[in-house]
Structure 1
Amino acid sequence: MFKRFIAAIAVIATLSTPVFAAEFTDEQLEGLAARIESFDAAMKASDMSEVMDVVPPKVLDKIAANFNVTTEQLIEATQQQMDQVMKDVEIVSFAMDLEAAEYFETADGTPYALIPTETVMDLGEAGGKVKATSSTLGMFDEETWYLVRVEDAQQVAILKEVYPAFVDVEFPTGSMEPVTE
């Protein structure tokens, strides 16, 4: 009876723990590094088409469906919005710290990484410089790495809806603070 009780507790503990440390191959880690590098280049060039390419297709499709537009229309509208915002905002620096990333698996074995991310923006006269600190989800799906902002509650809700393996994963919150020089 006692052995069954201990076994039951072990099963419950396993099911209630959403993430486990994960082992990634060198090829997977190189793929993540390449994905981050291409994303960084796209951010610096304000190329929203390339930026959106790192978002999992299921997430893009869900967002497009929520707005009753095609994925292509969503990407185009996002590019227009970004162009408008970037008239008043300058990205001073953007970096994902892959060396400090943490690697996990969901309970069903879906591999992912949480990558510390820092963005410094100059909001101009409206707000000066601010530093946003967050984590970016590096998600390995069908042999491809995708990147997802996890400080945005709406984005996380959509992620969890289209990727149920992440339902029990708690993502770190981000922060924003003024940069004083």
Structure 2
Amino acid sequence: MTCRIICIILLITMSYSAFARSLTSEERGALAGMVVRYEAAVLEKDYWAIGAAFPPRLLERYVAARGFADLEPDRWVGLYVQDTEAIDKNIGNKIETFTLGWDNAEFKETADGTPYVILPSVTVGKSNVFGRTRVSAQYLALLDEGKWYITVVAFGGLLGSVEGVYPSFEGIEFDPATQEQL
């Protein structure tokens, strides 16, 4: 009897996976373009473009945590840019290479059917604090109201945990980042 129950559970699980929603060609194309733009923004230190790529609910929580809950949404990215530029100036961060692994992207779905993509990244850079390092981390691409957004999820997420503002990500675990001195 126990074997039969396990087989039924496995069959249901496999059936669910087989019918998981694939990205449309439009969604996949939009994400591919977003990945290219994001990589370029990181290499060029275009913090406005990077900030605009953050999922809006994470950015809203970041702004509130900084004590600016009443700040107008069109000024949220500006606050992120101001903070990031100040940090960058203090640590003297210079990025040599940055790639989001589109070829190794993992296309997944939350329990409620929300599609998302894990993008492995590798960053080589140098700072006054850490010296020259290579950091491997996961980035999360998610759809919010039909638009793709990207954020790093290693380190607990640059702007905090995803599941705190996107409940469908509850229980989904991401790999921790690794850093190696070069």
Aligned counterpart, 2:164: 161
Q: Which structure 2 residue ranges, 5 or more long, are not aligned?
A: none
Residue in 1 aligned with 2:80? 78
Aligned-pair Cα RMSD in Å: 2.9
| Aligned residue in 2 for 1:178 | 181
Does residue 97 of structure 2 align to residue 93 of structure 1? Answer: yes
Question: Judging changes above 3 Å, is the alpha-carbon distance between structure 1 residues 149 and 100 closer, same or farther for their aligned structure 2 residues?
Answer: same
Partners of 2:159 and 2:61 in 1: CA distance: 12
Q: What residue identity is the alignment partner of 1:10?
A: I
Residue in structure 2 matched with residue 142 of structure 1 by the alignment: 145
Inter-partner Cα distance in structure 2 for 1:166 and 1:112? 10
1:168 Cα offset (Å): 1.3
Give the Å deviation of 1:73: 5.1
CA contact (8 A) 2:59 2:159 kept: no
| Percent of aligned pairs sharing the same letter | 27
How much does 1:46 deviate?
A: 1.8
TM-score, reference length from structure 1: 0.81
Shift of 1:154: 5.3
Q: Which residue of 1 aligns with 2:37?
A: 38
| Residue 68 of structure 1: aligned partner | 67
Deviation at 1:48, TM superposition (A): 1.6
SS at structure 1 position matched to 2:154: coil
Question: Residues 142-167 of structure 1: CA distance to partner in whole angstroms, max 9, x if unpaired?
Answer: 21111121112255854101111001
Secondary structure of 1:37's counterpart equals helix
TM-score, normalised to structure 2's length?
0.81
Give aligned pairs, total.
Answer: 172
Contact in 2 for aligned 1:22/1:103 (Cα 8 Å) = no
Relative distance call for 1:7 and 1:175 in structure 2 (3 A) is closer
Indicate whether 1:10 and 2:13 are aligned: no
Segments of 5+ residues of structure 1 without an aligned counterpart are none
Measure the CA separation in 1 of the matches of 2:160 and 2:8. Answer: 30
* Secondary structure in 2 matching 1:86: helix
Q: Secondary structure at the match of 1:53?
A: helix
- Check 1:140–1:173 CA distance in 2 against 1; reply closer, same or farther (3 A cut): same
